[in-house]
Structure 1
Amino acid sequence: MTMQNPYQAPQAAVAEPFVAEAGIEQVASAQKLIIYAILGYFAAVALQGVLGLFAALLLVLVVCAALVGTFKLCTGMGFSMASRVILLVLMFVPLVSLIVLLVLNAKATARLRAAGYHVGLLGARR
């Protein structure tokens, strides 16, 4: 006969313990920048006929955000220096940069979900 304490709390593994992956916080913040850059591209194109010069200024700000986000994301995900340089150069080609941002966003989403983050429309949260 085994002796069990009737007043002992039940024991259960509720959730997996979080293992901090190197650079995952950097990937999360860079993904937000990339998402904002994608939304900014669409806003700049939509407002180009109405606002003209202001839309061009918005597009310059979006390209700067895309450059910073791409560099941070590539660094956080451990891309080689050659691929970082190629991706940063591709940010200056209008339609190709949008496609590159969408692909990088998909890769970051997969990495963040594997690390236990919840990824929504405007980025990741724990």
Structure 2
Amino acid sequence: MNTYNPYEAPKAAMAAPVANDAGIEQVASAQKLIIYSILAYFAGAAARTFLGPIGLLLVLGAVLMGLIGTFRLCSGLGYSMPVRVILIVLMFVPLVSLIVLLVLNAKATARLRAAGYHVGLLGATR
């Protein structure tokens, strides 16, 4: 007798989830650094208008966080060394650095959502 059931749901070979990727935790922590850097950049720009040199310190802190976050995120996403160097150099150009941070944040969000993370305003949660 035939065991074929025409009403059975189709079976597909599913790929292993991306959550087993070794760099996904590094991507999550680097994305938080990048998000904090973007927020600190805007806060520093506003504080620089009103407070002067104190706001400049906040902007410098945002740039430092952005540099560290960019390097860690590029490592977690598996970018090659020339791409990492180019992105780090672009971080020293004032408006371009903000655009680089926003693009990297979007790429990290896509990778984290594919791995099953929930990504909110201040980073990813499992």
Normalising by structure 2, what TM-score? 0.85
Q: Does the 8 Å contact 2:90/2:97 carry over to 1? A: yes
Counterpart Cα distance in 1 of 2:36 and 2:49: 21
- How far apart, CA to CA, are the structure 1 residues paired with 2:102 and 2:88? 14
Q: 1:18 Cα deviation (Å)?
A: 7.8
Inter-partner Cα distance in structure 1 for 2:107 and 2:116: 15
Distance 1:47 1:64 in 2: 17
Residues 110 and 17 of structure 1, relative CA distance in 2, 3 Å threshold: closer
Report what 2:80 is aligned to: 80
CA 1:18/1:89 → structure 2, altered by over 3 Å: closer, same or farther?
closer
The corresponding residue for 2:109 is 109
- Does the CA contact (< 8 Å) of 2:118 and 2:124 recur in 1? yes
5+ residue gaps, structure 1: 1-15
Measured in 2, the distance between the counterparts of 1:17 and 1:68 equals: 28
| Separation of aligned partners in 2, 1:41 and 1:64 | 10
Give 1:56-67 correspondences, 5 Å limit: 56-67=56-67
Amino acid at match of 1:41: Y
Residue in 2 that maps onto 1:69: 69
Amino acid at match of 2:110: A
1:54 corresponds to 2:61 = no
Aligned to 1:116, the other structure's residue is in SS state coil
Unaligned runs of 5+ residues in structure 2 are 1-15
TM-score normalised to structure 1 length: 0.85
Q: Cα distance 1:72–1:17, how it changes in 2: closer, same or farther (>3 A)?
A: closer
Runs of 4+ in 1 over 2 A off after TM superposition: 16-19
Deviations 1:16-73 (A, max 9, x none): 9784112000000000000000001110111112110011111111111000000000
**How many matched pairs?**
111
Distance in 2 (CA, whole Å) between partners of 1:49 and 1:124 is 32
Name the aligned partner's letter for residue 78 of structure 1.
G
Aligned to 1:37: 37
